[in-house]
Amino acid sequence: MYGQQQLEEQTARYTKLNELFEQYFGVQEGSKLFSAAGRSEIGGNHTDHNHGKVLAGSITLDTIAVAAPTTDSVITFYSEGYDQKYVIDLTDLAPKTEDDGTTALIRGMAAGFGEFGYKVGGFQAYISSNVFSASGLSSSASFEMLICTILNHFYNEGRLDVVVMSKIGQYAENNYWNKPSGLLDQMACAYGGLIAIDFENPAEPVIEPALGSEYVREITAEAIYANLKQVREAAGDRAVLRALHFLEENNRVDGQVQALREGRFADFLNLITASGNSSWKWLQNVYQSGSVKEQEIGIALALTENYLQKLGDGACRIHGGGFAGVILTILPNEKVEEYMSWMHGMLDTPIIVVNVRAQGAVCLNELIENVG
């Protein structure tokens, strides 16, 4: 799941997690290991909002837990790095103003299980995550899918599929966080591998492994060009550019998936580069409007583009929402250390190495049994 090179590190990580679980809850025969991946957006920058297409992958950074079911209706857990003991009474799932973000999210997910016709029950857990918050790698969605997987395994015989679990996460965010989120992050965290998602019908998105309108998808670039003067006057130039980005980005996602399936990796990288250029010039989400003195993402992209041009390989683009935060760089494995050293010499910013993993949100005990 993590690759051979991380075997020792991950073994120590899970061993420590189990020791901490036993420190707080004692030895429990019913305890099991769970993991939910973070996610990386590979293609389709800001397309899901307009019922578009996205290429995304589950990554090796993840949120993990040791958990055991209980006979009561209480979820109790600790999270590494936090002193707080989290306790959620499942007999009272109404939103509460005094809940912090984490408690509200779990209460909302438990309520979501009921809304979708599934069972919930108590459990005890110790949780740890190396999915950096505010990194664009969907730490919240990773946590949501971890909790869903625990409840799915202990109380629903694994009957929930990725779409249902993602909708439960969305329900919790929409109703208990007041965050109008979509389904992209949850799906990419839970499914596993590199996947293409088509949100034309957002209620039933289509997931495929890769290896005058309300939404822009309902119009065409030709319609915009044919009515360009009127559209510019009505919506403004930036809106026109962003609509054109969406339409072209949808086509690029199709091209990226096809290139990967046909083994044309150079073409795939060229489409990643084109996506980055479109995000910078048309979508315009690399820097905030009016931010003249601080444009670190633009600097990081410029430096990386220069490095990749000299290398003659690889690709880069803004990652996720943009405006601040993270860029995505794809380059040969043998050049990773060199690139990181060079970038650290230029910018005082963290660089995270991630790989796409085949597993999304899983019970590791079950995974090991199936492999065996």
Residues 183-193 have pLDDT tens digits of 889 999 999 99
pLDDT above 90 as % of the chain: 61
Are 216 and 202 in a shared domain?
Answer: no
Residues 193-212 have pLDDT tens digits of 999 999 888 888 889 888 76
* 216: containing domain: 210-346
CA atoms within 13 A on the CB side of 79: 13
For residue 216, name the pLDDT band (cuts at 50, 70, 90): low
Are 309 and 341 in a shared domain?
Answer: yes
* pTM above threshold 0.75: yes
Rounded Cα distance between 191 and 351, Å, is 25
Looking at mean pLDDT, say which of 37-41, 73-77, 242-246, 368-372 comes out highest. 73-77
Are 171 and 241 in a shared domain?
Answer: no
Q: Which two tokens stand for residue 251?
A: 């086509």
How many domains does the chain contain in total? 2
Are 221 and 182 in a shared domain?
Answer: no
Q: Which two tokens stand for residue 10?
A: 């991950």
Are 234 and 366 in a shared domain?
Answer: no
Domain with 257 in it: what CATH number? Answer: 3.30.70.890
Are 143 and 261 in a shared domain?
Answer: no
Domain with 195 in it: what CATH number? Answer: 3.30.230.10
Rounded Cα distance between 199 and 187, Å, is 11
Looking at mean pLDDT, say which of 11-20, 94-103, 231-240 comes out highest. 11-20
If one compares 159 and 238, the residue with the highest pLDDT of the two is 159
Residues 91-104 have pLDDT tens digits of 999 999 999 999 99
Are 225 and 240 in a shared domain?
Answer: yes
Q: At which residue do the structure tokens 């109380």 appear?
A: 155
CA atoms within 13 A on the CB side of 123: 29
pLDDT at 323: 45
pLDDT at 48: 76
Residues 122-136 have pLDDT tens digits of 999 999 999 987 777
Are 168 and 301 in a shared domain?
Answer: no
Rounded Cα distance between 332 and 293, Å, is 33
Rounded Cα distance between 208 and 206, Å, is 7
Residue range 242-266: mean pLDDT, rounded: 91
Are 257 and 309 in a shared domain?
Answer: yes
Tally helices (H) and strands (E) across the chain: 12, 10
Are 144 and 252 in a shared domain?
Answer: no
Are 66 and 149 in a shared domain?
Answer: yes
Q: Which two tokens stand for residue 261?
A: 């399936």
CB-based burial of residue 170 (10 Å sphere; 0-12 exposed, 13-18 middle, 19+ buried)?
buried
CA 369 vs CA 162, 348, 364: distances in Å:
21, 44, 8
Rounded Cα distance between 346 and 340, Å, is 10
Are 174 and 114 in a shared domain?
Answer: yes
Q: How far apart are the first and last CA of the chain?
A: 14
